Chain A
Amino acid sequence: MSLLSVDDLTLKLDGKVLVSNLSLALEAGARLGLIGESGSGKSLTAMAVTGLLPGNIRPSGSIVLGGQQVIGAPESTLNRLRGTRVAVVFQEPLTALDPLMRVGRQVAEPLRRRALRDGNPLSGTQVQAAVLALLHDVALPDPERILGAYPHELSGGQRQRVAIAMALACRPDLLIADEPTTALDVTTQADILALLDRLVRDRGMALLFISHDLPVVARIAQEVVVLRQGEAVERGPVHAVFTHPAHDYTKGLVSAAHAFDSALGGRP
């Protein structure tokens, strides 16, 4: 059975269809890219998977995550699913961390909760050690110092690493990365992608990678689904979709990316 299977998902806001009849499946350890422009419904799909849709958006269809139906499930069930089965890394590392909480505590919080849910609560020193190990794992320099730092004392890339550490602290089966590199500069982007790639492989997590950026998705995903105005217009292995796009929309995206690349490459 798949870790995540979305069947016929439709999201409506006051009768307006935002996502229509979307189906996708993700096996344990697999990596799926969800591509589309702004407003194509990528992030909403991710929110629907975690059961955190805004109250005025009505979902229909089926989302089964780790054997649990998400749509229509009570809040207590969903809350147990979050931070155990699934964790999310967001786009904007500036605002995804609580500005008034030290980094160490922010990472410790989900870590402690996961341990508690597993039935083996950790002592203070155990938590401290595990947080340090996580900060080490996401390749933050000088983890001991960063442990006591506030988010505003870190760079954007460092904050995104902290956000990834917070997601890892949940030890999820599925990691959703919602445009995790969009707000970062190009070199930092490459570092973060390499980091995600390594962590997902090491820990055997499944990855749902959401982006509008084709080259970025090509580097990290195996399969892609191309979304346009809430509809899946094309899907398949990354390489096949990018080298032989079938749908006009995908063709447009691919040639735009090529044009951009050659424009950059053509500069002296």
Chain B
Amino acid sequence: MSTLTPSLPRRSRTSFTLWAGLALVGLHVAIALLTLVWTPYDPTAMAGGRLEAPSWLHWAGTDRLGRDFFTQIMIGSRIALVVGIGAVAIGGVIGVTLGLLAAFASTWLDDALAATLDILIAFPTLLIAMLVVAMSDTASLFTAVLALGIALSAIVARLTRILAKRVLLMDFITAARTSGTSWFGIVIQHILPNIWPTLSVNFALQFGLAVIAEASLSYLGLGAPPPNASWGRLLQEAQGTVYTAPIGAIAPGIALVLLVIGVNLLADGLRDRIDPTRRAR
């Protein structure tokens, strides 16, 4: 077990994962916060010629309306974070609640819930999100986040159900029951802490999925409407000019990839920190 593994490499790997994740996510958070008070240029005003190449004045060039592209990407950071956190929060609350209900439910209710979740998971996340957006009257950032949260909740629910069922079989749950712990106490004190390390890593994956799915929704015109410059919409706008000004597609893509990788590294590193049995000694 852990006593046999040399502790030094493990420790440094954990630290690297955590710090790299923190740096990438921190960069995005810092930029997102910065856009609330300051951007290099007015995001809606013409700042130069159309489709200018990257220069010291315009780090990522300008778009087809002559707006500073780097400013747009910075604002996209804010939207991506709002979408990711919002969707994971909504999906997490709905999913964990449903999953726990299924884990505790009687056999037939559990079977019914599990079958429903399996059917929901069979549909692509994006398709469910599109359906939810289509059902609401107007496309807005909020409906997009809500739609993605609902779409993600099925995956979270299924994972929670399986994890909780496994923990429920453990002796320490029986021990807690024999000492008079209520079911509510069991959930709060034992089940949630024991499934959290795995759930949190999954939440990071979901965060990445949500940001990418929002980009897809925006690309299809179902995401946040203008002037919310989400990365997906930037990609969509860059589509027509991708051969003459490829930076328009590359820059938002890089920003997206860096955020998703950062969140995953951060979750991995945090998991190793939270779980005392995995913690290097």
Contacts and interface: CB of A to CB of B under 8 A. Distances in A.
B55 interface: no
B178 A86 contact: yes
B178 A50 contact: yes
Interface string A53-84: 00000000000000000000000000111111
B178 A87 contact: yes
Interface string A100-137: 11000000011001100100000000000000000000
Interface string B160-199: 0000000000111011111111100000011001100000
Contact of B180 (A84, A92, A163, A176): A84
A117 B194 CA distance: 27
B277 A83 contact: no
B276 interface: yes
B175 A163 contact: yes
A95 B174 CA distance: 10
B42 interface: no
Interface string A131-168: 00000000000000000001010000000000100110
Contacts of A110: 179-181
Contact of B174 (A90, A101, A113, A170): A90
B175 A82 contact: no
Contacts of B2: 152
A97 B190 CA distance: 10
A109 B181 contact: yes
Interface in B1-60: 2
B275 interface: yes
Range, interface on chain A: 20 to 34
B181 A99 contact: no
A100 B193 contact: yes
B108 to A, nearest CB: 13
A97 B180 CA distance: 15
B189 A101 contact: yes
Contact of A79 (B171, B172, B182, B277): B182
A167 B179 contact: yes
Nearest to B178: A88
A113 B181 contact: yes
A191 interface: no
B179 A170 contact: yes
Contacts of B171: 90, 92, 95-96
Contacts of A113: 179-181
Contacts of B177: 50, 52, 82
A261 interface: no
A101 B192 CA distance: 12
A37 interface: no
Contacts of B190: 98, 101
Contact of B178 (A83, A95, A99, A109): A83
A82 to B, nearest CB: 4
A150 B178 contact: no
A88 B171 CA distance: 11
Nearest to A46: B178
Given A98-B190, A99-B194, A152-B277, A79 B174 contact: no
Nearest to B172: A98
A100 B273 CA distance: 12
Contacts of A150: 276-277
Contacts of A109: 176, 179, 181, 189
A248 to B, nearest CB: 34
A83 B174 CA distance: 12
Contacts of B193: 98, 100-101
Nearest to B1: A152
Contacts of A169: 179
30 contacts: A50-B177, A79-B182, A82-B177, A83-B179, A84-B180, A87-B178, A87-B179, A88-B178, A90-B174, A96-B172, A97-B172, A98-B172, A98-B176, A98-B189, A98-B193, A99-B276, A100-B193, A100-B194, A100-B277, A101-B190, A109-B176, A113-B181, A114-B180, A117-B180, A150-B277, A152-B276, A163-B175, A166-B175, A170-B179, A170-B180
Top 9 A-B residue pairs of the complex, sorted by shortest distance between their CB atoms: A83-B180, A95-B171, A88-B178, A83-B179, A110-B179, A82-B180, A150-B276, A96-B171, A98-B172
Given A82-B178, A152-B276, 12 more contacts: A79-B180, A81-B180, A83-B179, A84-B180, A87-B178, A88-B179, A96-B175, A98-B190, A100-B275, A100-B277, A110-B181, A170-B179
